[in-house]
Amino acid sequence: MRDPDHALLVIDVQNDFCPGGALAVPGGDQIVPGINALMAEFPAVVLTQDWHPAGHSSFASEHPGHDPLSVIEMPYGMQVLWPDHCIQGSPGAEFHPDLDVDCADLIVRKGFRREIDSYSAFFENDRETPTGLEGYLRTRGIARLTLVGLATDFCVNYSAVDAARLGFDVEVIDGLSRAIDANGSLEEAREAMADAGVVLA
């Protein structure tokens, strides 16, 4: 068992991000057994869940003439447009059926505000509006975080960088994460995490 100040943060291991899903990450389902095994080592486990309303502003379908993975400017900054995915209550939004959800102490749902996307487990994409996760971890006495999940270059990256910015000691287990890798996004994410002091394990 890890020290009591160490938590595992499992990012968005949901059906839509696994093979056959609306925004499938290559090999996204392959990491599930390893994550389940790792959960038993941690005194605190937090899962995040993308939880979009239908017609979310980050969906390419809401922007005629724009294809998925194109980028537009939103009031809070640049936004990648995605296929419709992880819609609240849909099968695609559910956790992968093999993920041991019962091990979780907390499930954080993000991206539920129609007008703004949320990659990070800590903040909406304006980098200011908090999800409440930081406060939960502080009250639990958590100082160290290990991150795994989907996708390395987006939600894992943003969560890890924000956690480091907030003063947590952060590592990402590369072997238990998978990337979309759109237009060089994985290399950019690795550089961003390294610059923030995140350890890639």
Catalytic sites, residue numbers:
12, 110, 155
Distance from C-alpha of 185 to C-alpha of 80, rounded to nearest angstrom:
11
Place of tokens 């900054």: 77
Specify whether the CB–CB gap between 172 and 139 falls below 8 A.
no
Which among 90, 86, 92, 79 is positioned nearest to 154, based on CA atoms? 79
Rounded CA separation 142/39 (Å): 16
Angle (CA) 43 49 52, round 5° = 160
The two tokens of residue 89 are 């209550």
